[in-house]
Amino acid sequence: MGDDTTPAGGPAGDGPTCLVTGATGYIGGRLVPELLDAGHRVRCLVRTPDKLRDHPWAGRVEILRGDVTDAESVARAMDGVDVAYYLVHALGTGRGFEETDRAAARIFGAEARRAGVGRLVYLGGLTPRAVPEHELSPHLRSRAEVGRVLLASGVPTAVLRAAVIIGSGSASFEMLRYLTERLPVMVTPRWVHTRIQPIAVRDVLRLLTGCARLPREVNRTFDIGGPEVLTYLEMMHRYASVAKLPRRLILPVPVLTPRLSSYWVGLVTPVPASIARPLTESLRHEVVCREDDIEQYVPSPPGHPIGFDLAVRLALQRIRDAQVTTRWSSASVPGAPSDPLPTDPDWAGGSLYTDVRERDADVSREALWEVVEGIGGEHGWYSFPLAWAVRGWLDRLVGGVGLRRGRRDARHLRTGDSLDFWRVEEIAHGRLLRLRAEMRLPGLAWLEMSVDGDDGGPVRYRQRALFHPHGLLGHLYWWSVSPWHAVVFGGMARNIVRTAERAAPPPRGRGAGAS
């Protein structure tokens, strides 16, 4: 790892210096501004610093490039740190993820001890009572092991263990939301009768922030949860009531195993099976807090902990107001490609197929860019909707993310955002949007959209689709779909320009054309 550091925009306060890992993820991305507001100085360790570039707090923190599996980058990040937050997981069910979690936790604890860090804070999963660890899901078993590794590191550690987190954009909330909203009648697995103690994301962030000032002698786990214990069935009925939906008819059946139900969840909700499976497996056993000792150190203010109904109401309001700051998909999906766009035109890595479309636009740059930045989600992809829908369904059937992830914000994008089955790899506002494909493909794919032209001069829309095939199957894939490019990509370029021209009056003295 290179020593790629983004300097801080100035001290945030006189509190402890906090290192946050996982700042591009769901919880980490929300914890950083909470720590800053509490007067702490914050440093973020991330693999891709550009993903934090567009966050409103980016100029107030120090950003280092690194990885928790790389001891050298972790050692650099720990220098001068008082409190280190471990908020990363090798989420997935593939081979080796438990070993990756174990090795990363050992590196993190060892480097924190060498650097003299005063406190580690880890957010893990709430484990069930009286269930041997070997019977837990791999997901929960790994979280429990990471907690033990950090507690044994020699650095005072607080391990917070939560069950289902209720908040706009969380994977658990999205799963609950879409299952309830889309299926007025549903056949469900046995785990709908499992007792769960959900917690509002606001309470999770409040407790994580409070742990920065725990007494040094505290080295233990804390169970954290909301004020109510509910079954998943009750949570779905309560969600429907808050969302003002008709009462749902839910029919539990014993034959839907966690594995089968994860595929079912993957088809019905935006959460792909690769993420739904560890979530559903974690619901096999009751997950209820055994103690609330955290109250002794971080007392709840009036109105906290937040009840389930209010947590749902707050989450839905955030969604309606387009104020979802992070989503479960903020982090890359397991198995998705992460390679940057190859240098072209002469790329040494092999074949790179391209499809280029350009059109003149009789509209201002700002109006054209507004359409480009608003692509995807409810706006769709401006060409052959059936083809996009079929491609999304095919991706879901083979375990991919499909098209249903939508957008974090209906109008604005930032680097690292998920966008249906793409991810924003680069955005230069007003000029360039580059998306990297996260659907299942025999290769790597990108889609670039750019707006060129000076104020008062001609405006031109340029679109490039790029594909780097993997093996013979990749080449066959490109040539099998290339006959459709004129319809899909050609139609996209034409309709993006037309949409912009219809929405805004044409600038004077400018004509339109196409190529």
pLDDT confidence of residue 398: 74
The pair phi, psi for residue 97, each rounded to 5°, is -70, -35
DSSP structure class, residue 514: B
Query: Among 370, 376, 386, 394, which Cα is nearest to 461's?
Result: 370
pLDDT confidence of residue 369: 94
pLDDT confidence of residue 448: 93
Sign of the torsion angle spanned by Cα atoms 396, 401, 403, 405? positive
Task: Tokens 């980016």: give the residue.
Answer: 58
Tokens found for residue 135:
């019977």
CATH 3.40.50.720 fits 5-330, yes or no: yes
Tokens found for residue 487:
């319809």
Coil, strand, or helix at residue 231?
A: strand
CATH superfamily of 353-503: START domain (3.30.530.20)
Q: What is the 3-state secondary structure (H, E, C) of 120-153?
A: EEEEEECCCCCCCHHHCCHHHHHHHHHHHHHHCC
Tokens found for residue 328:
């479960």
Q: How far is CA 106 from its chain centroid?
A: 25
**Segments in 90-231 forming alpha helices (H):** 97-115, 138-151, 171-182, 201-210
Where are the domains positioned within the chain?
5-330, 353-503
User: Parallel, antiparallel, or unpaired: how do β-strands 249-252 and 185-188 relate?
Assistant: parallel
Task: Tokens 């309709």: give the residue.
Answer: 495
Contact 20, 85 (CB under 8 A): yes
Full pLDDT tens readout for the chain, 515 residues = 333 434 444 445 677 999 999 998 889 999 999 999 999 999 999 988 988 988 899 999 999 999 999 999 999 999 999 999 999 986 554 557 788 899 999 999 999 999 999 999 999 988 887 777 777 777 888 889 999 999 999 999 999 999 999 998 888 888 888 878 777 666 667 777 888 999 999 999 999 999 999 999 999 999 999 999 999 889 988 999 999 988 877 776 665 565 666 666 666 666 666 666 667 677 777 889 999 999 999 999 999 999 999 999 999 998 887 777 887 666 655 444 444 454 443 443 456 888 999 999 999 989 999 999 999 988 889 988 888 888 887 877 777 777 778 888 888 898 888 888 888 888 888 899 999 988 888 888 899 999 998 666 789 999 999 998 887 888 888 888 888 888 899 999 999 999 999 887 666 554 444 33
pLDDT confidence of residue 11: 44
Q: What are the distances in angstroms from CA 192 to CA 55, 119, 154, 258?
A: 37, 38, 40, 11
Contact 223, 291 (CB under 8 A): yes
Q: Same topology for domains 5-330 and 353-503, yes or no? A: no
Query: Among 115, 211, 98, which Cα is nearest to 159's?
Result: 211
**Residues present in the chain in total:** 515
Q: What are the distances in angstroms from CA 217 to CA 119, 157, 169, 337?
A: 10, 9, 35, 43
Provide the whole-model pTM.
0.75
Q: What is the 3-state secondary structure (H, E, C) of 30-54?
A: HHHHHHHHCCCEEEEEECCHHHHCC
Bridge-partner residues for 37, per DSSP?
none
Q: How far is CA 410 from its chain centroid?
A: 16
Distance CA 234, CA 242 (A): 12
How large is the angle between the packed helices 273-281 and 258-268, nearest 10 degrees?
130
Long-range contacts of 74-77, Cβ-Cβ distance < 8 Å, separation of 24 or more = 74/45, 74/107, 74/108, 74/111, 75/111, 75/114, 75/115, 76/3, 77/19, 77/43, 77/45
Distance CA 91, CA 332 (A): 10
